[in-house]
Amino acid sequence: MLWEESFYFTSVKYFKKCEEVVKRCYVLSLKK
């Protein structure tokens, strides 16, 4: 159970980071 929880939290953090990067890239492409 503990492993699954840590895996879940890691996935959520990773997803949020990816989301931020995608948003930044999107904004940068709009500015061009």
**What is the pLDDT at residue 31?**
87
Which 3-state string (H, E, C) describes 1-32?
Answer: CHHHHHHHHHHHHHHHHHHHHHHHHHHHHHHC
Q: What is the pLDDT of residues 1-32, one digit of tens each?
A: 587 889 999 999 999 999 999 999 999 999 87
Pairwise CA distance, residues 32 & 25, whole Å: 11
